[in-house]
Amino acid sequence: MLGLDTELKQTRFYQEIAEEESIVLLTRQLRRKFGIQPELEIALKRLPGLELTMLENLA
């Protein structure tokens, strides 16, 4: 089972879903904390360009 779990996390499908969910979570957290501001919206547009590990660390 542990080998399968590791293999699953390395698939492109898993990484895409994890990336999308991380972006959704970060967007929700930042908008809740800072509200909707032009500077924040510009920063949020840069999130999809970050690697999954960076997104997870930010979240």
Query: What is the structure's pLDDT at 7?
Result: 81
pTM of this structure: 0.77
Is 48 in a helix, a strand, or coil? helix
Query: What is the structure's pLDDT at 3?
Result: 61
Q: Provide the number of structural domains found in the chain.
A: 1
Q: Is the pLDDT of residue 57 over 80?
A: yes
Query: What is the structure's pLDDT at 46?
Result: 93
Q: Is the pLDDT of residue 58 over 90?
A: no
Residue among 58, 55, 44 nearest 19 (CA): 55
For 1-54, the pLDDT digits (tens) are 456 677 877 889 988 999 999 999 999 999 999 998 999 999 999 999 999 889
Per the structure, the complete domain to which residue 38 belongs is given by 2-58
Does an H or E element contain 15, and which?
helix 12-34
